[in-house]
């Protein structure tokens, strides 16, 4: 990726079904990768992988050999290469964020989709959730909303517009984020907050004990939980056994 300016263009999904209601915009056909539970709710045992692709990719039963990361208690959101979209809304459809500061949008890569969470901090879900509907007007000025966004981090964990295995997508994601840091240095907000585009860290799980220790340490610090990702797997636009919580 270069520093050459590129056009902001929606790339995921490539063809979007857009609807409007009550001054809000929705992407009706947006589908992203959703998680299943690690433990079967009926038996209490870890779920089993018995599909054809799991066998082809030689994926081990979870959680051994899987990637683990913190489950962020924010708002699941997608940058489609042009705009930020919240996964859900009061009407059950993915909603475009009403207003995003230009300086925040500037750090996001044009024409590349990013999947992640808009996050302010542990235990601050309610404060984070209202951001998608805020817009300059009678309640808040543009400068006031811009200031609110200085506390926001976009915790990114995938590139849905890219093919290839998970590790390959993560390698590209790190390169993209490092490149956008150069853009961040040219904004007036550089120095007023941490760089808001962050890659979610992943840890390879080798033992059940390691997973339990990681879970206990994170939740003791206020984290919501842990996400598990199957190694070598593609991005699926559905509820997937390759992404567990």
pLDDT at 185: 80
Asked, colleague to colleague, whether 1-30+75-199 and 31-72+201-245 share their fold, the answer is no
Measured CA to CA, the distance from residue 128 to residue 121 in angstroms comes to: 8
Q: Is the dihedral of CA 178, 179, 180, 181 positive or negative?
A: positive
Both tokens assigned to 68: 């683990």
- Give the model confidence (pLDDT) of 41-69 as tens digits: 888 888 888 888 888 999 999 999 999 99
pLDDT at 50: 85
DSSP 239: E
- Map out the domains of the chain as residue ranges: 1-30+75-199, 31-72+201-245
Cα Rg of the chain, angstroms: 19
Which residues of the chain, if any, have pLDDT below 70?
1-6, 89-91, 187-193
Measured CA to CA, the distance from residue 112 to residue 116 in angstroms comes to: 13
Q: What fold is seen in the domain 1-30+75-199?
A: D-amino Acid Aminotransferase; Chain A, domain 1 (3.30.470)
State in words which class domain 31-72+201-245 has: alpha beta
Closest by CA position to 98, among listed 84, 114, 118: 84
> Checking phi first, is residue 184 left (phi over 0); if not, alpha (psi -120 to 50) or beta?
alpha
CA triple 82-178-4, angle to 5 deg: 55
* C-beta of residue 110 within 8 angstroms of C-beta of residue 10: no
pLDDT at 90: 57
């Amino acid at each position: 990726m270069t520093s050459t300016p590129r056009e902001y263009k929606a790339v995921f999904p490539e063809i979007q079904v857009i609807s409007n209601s009550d001054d809000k915009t929705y992407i009706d056909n947006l589908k992203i990768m959703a998680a299943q539970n690690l433990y079967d709710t009926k038996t209490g045992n870890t779920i089993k992988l018995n599909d054809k692709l799991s066998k082809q990719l030689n994926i081990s039963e979870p959680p051994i050999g899987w990637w683990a990361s913190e489950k962020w208690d924010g708002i699941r959101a997608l940058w489609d290469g042009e705009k930020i979209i919240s996964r859900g809304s009061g009407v059950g459809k993915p909603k475009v964020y009403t207003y995003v500061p230009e300086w925040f949008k500037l750090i996001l890569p044009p024409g590349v989709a990013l999947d992640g969470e808009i996050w302010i901090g542990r235990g601050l879900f309610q404060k984070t959730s209202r951001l998608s509907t805020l817009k300059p007007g009678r309640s808040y000025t543009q400068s006031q909303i811009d200031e609110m966004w200085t506390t926001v981090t976009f915790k990114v964990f995938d590139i849905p517009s890219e093919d290839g295995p998970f590790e390959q997508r993560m390698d590209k994601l790190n390169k993209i984020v490092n490149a956008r840091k150069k853009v961040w240095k040219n904004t007036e907000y550089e120095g007023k907050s941490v760089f808001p585009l962050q890659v979610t860290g992943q840890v390879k799980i080798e033992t059940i004990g390691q997973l339990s220790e990681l879970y206990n340490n994170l939740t003791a610090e206020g984290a919501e939980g842990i996400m598990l990702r199957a190694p070598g797997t593609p991005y699926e636009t559905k509820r997937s056994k390759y992404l567990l919580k």
